Structures are given as structure tokens and as C-alpha cells.
């Protein structure tokens, strides 16, 4: 089944068309990178498929069902969305943050049930955060905090994770840690993920497929290898690049190198 299907999707704000007649399919069971230059409307596309924005025209379907036919609670049980700027979590323990992911299943006043507690514990374990469960979120490192937000998404029980630049404020080590975690979870549990990324080499290392945009139009979609050619990189980023290969235990990896 296709994860998302977009047909002729358009979104306009005063003075600018953000998404321009976009038609594409995003595959289920894969980690898909959304890439492109600044201002190419990657984050806007993510908000559209998350149901955060409605298109002016065209249609969007999730799992074969029109997005507008999903109730907010149904959508929250199927899709977990992490914005680029996360809300403040002042005075909140990590376990409390992760527990917020259970909201679609119990409501604002619903009592925490055994299955809710179990979902939180499993999410903490999968993200390697059990030792930090009682720590205040504000005292965690950037990588630990980001893993905490991903644990909240896991506790939500959604099968689709949408992440908007989850590594933008992290150093290289924490970028590898966070993206490696998402990749591992998807491969081990069959989740799907769509991630807005600026670093093409991180996308090549951790993602299976790619959707590339330019000014709200589709430039390229397909397996990650389709992007990793000098011709494709120049078309997407407007910059001459070369591609180098490096072998290792994980197999051959391709790297983009600006000329």
C-alpha cells in the first residue's frame, strides 16, 4: 500500500505559490528523505501530509483514504508529526513528555491504563532512554532531548513518523545517533518515516528513498541512489557536485562533494 498519494496539490499564500501542482507517491515501509534548497517548500509538504495544512486544490490520501476523511483522533493514531521547533517542556520529566504521546488513545482526561504505561516503557527502552526517565527534559543534551521526542512519537502508536529537520540543532555525532535510531526502528518494526533533511550525505546514509523539491515542484523521486549522481545533485541543488564511494562493513556508501 502507498503511504501517501498526492494528485495536483497546490497551496498558495499571499504573493507566493508554495506548492505547485504536486503529484507524487510516498512509499510505505521506507525511510524517505524530503530534500531541496532552502525555500523549496519541504516543510510545507510535510505539514500537508500531516494534516496540519489543507491544500487549495488537488487531493492527498493516506493509506489509500482521502486525508480529509480521517478524524483528528484517527489521524493522530496513524501519523506522528514532529515539527522543526518543538514546544517548550519546562519543568517536565522525560517520562512525562513521552507519556504525552498517549493522548490520542485516552483523551485529555482519560485515566492512564496498563497498556499506556507499557507503551511509554517500550518507547523509552527502544530509544535507550530508560536511565533518563526521571530527568528534567531541560537538563538533557540535545541528542537526548531529540530521542525523547522520538520516544513520544513511538508511544503514540502511530505507524508513520513525520520529522521536520530533526537534526538541525545537533552536532554531527548526535545527528548520526538520531537518524540511526529512526532508521533502526523502521527496519525492525516496519514503521514508515518521512524526514526533511538539509544534509544530502546524511540522507544518503540513513534514508531508503528520496523526494526532491524546487519551488514547490517535484524535481526527483525514487530510491536514494537516484539522487546520488552529479547530474541529479546539480538539478536539485543548483551546484556542481561529484559523487564518491566508500566501502565499509555496512557496504558501499555514496557521498556528495561540492566542486
- Specify burial of residue 258 (Cβ count, 10 A radius: 0-12, 13-18, 19+): exposed
pLDDT tens digits for range 165-209: 999 888 999 999 999 999 999 999 999 999 999 999 999 999 999
Number of domains in the chain: 1
The structure's pTM equals: 0.93
pLDDT tens digits for range 92-125: 999 999 999 998 887 656 778 889 999 999 999 9
Write out the residue range of the structural domain in which residue 215 sits: 2-258
Amino acid at each position: 500500500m502507498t503511504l501517501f498519494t498526492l494528485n495536483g496539490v497546490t497551496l498558495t499564500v499571499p504573493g507566493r505559490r508554495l506548492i505547485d501542482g504536486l503529484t507524487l507517491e510516498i512509499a510505505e515501509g521506507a525511510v524517505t528523505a524530503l530534500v531541496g534548497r532552502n525555500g523549496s517548500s519541504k516543510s510545507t509538504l510535510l505539514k500537508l501530509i500531516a494534516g496540519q495544512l489543507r491544500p487549495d486544490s488537488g487531493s492527498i490520501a493516506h493509506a489509500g483514504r482521502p486525508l480529509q476523511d480521517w478524524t483528528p483522533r484517527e489521524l493522530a493514531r496513524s501519523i506522528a508529526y514532529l515539527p522543526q521547533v518543538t514546544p517548550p517542556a519546562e519543568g517536565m520529566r522525560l517520562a512525562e513528555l513521552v507519556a504525552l504521546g498517549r493522548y490520542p488513545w485516552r483523551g485529555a482526561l482519560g485515566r492512564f491504563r496498563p497498556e499506556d504505561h507499557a507503551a511509554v516503557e517500550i518507547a523509552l527502552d527502544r530509544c535507550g532512554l530508560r536511565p533518563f526517565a526521571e530527568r528534567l527534559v531541560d537538563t538533557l543534551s540535545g541528542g537526548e532531548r531529540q530521542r525523547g521526542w522520538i520516544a513520544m512519537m513511538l508511544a503514540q502508536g502511530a505507524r508513520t513518523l513525520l520529522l521536520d529537520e530533526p537534526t538541525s540543532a545537533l552536532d554531527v555525532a548526535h545527528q548520526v545517533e538520531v537518524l540511526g535510531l529512526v532508521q533502526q526502528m523502521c527496519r525492525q518494526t516496519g514503521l514508515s518515516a518521512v524526514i526533511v533533511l538539509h544534509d544530502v550525505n546524511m540522507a544518503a546514509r540513513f534514508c531508503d528513498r528520496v523526494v526532491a523539491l524546487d519551488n514547490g515542484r517535484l524535481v526527483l523521486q525514487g530510491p536514494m541512489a537516484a539522487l546520488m549522481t552529479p547530474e541529479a545533485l546539480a538539478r536539485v541543488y543548483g551546484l556542481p557536485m561529484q559523487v564518491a564511494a566508500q566501502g565499509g562493513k555496512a557496504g558501499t556508501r555514496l557521498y556528495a562533494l561540492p566542486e
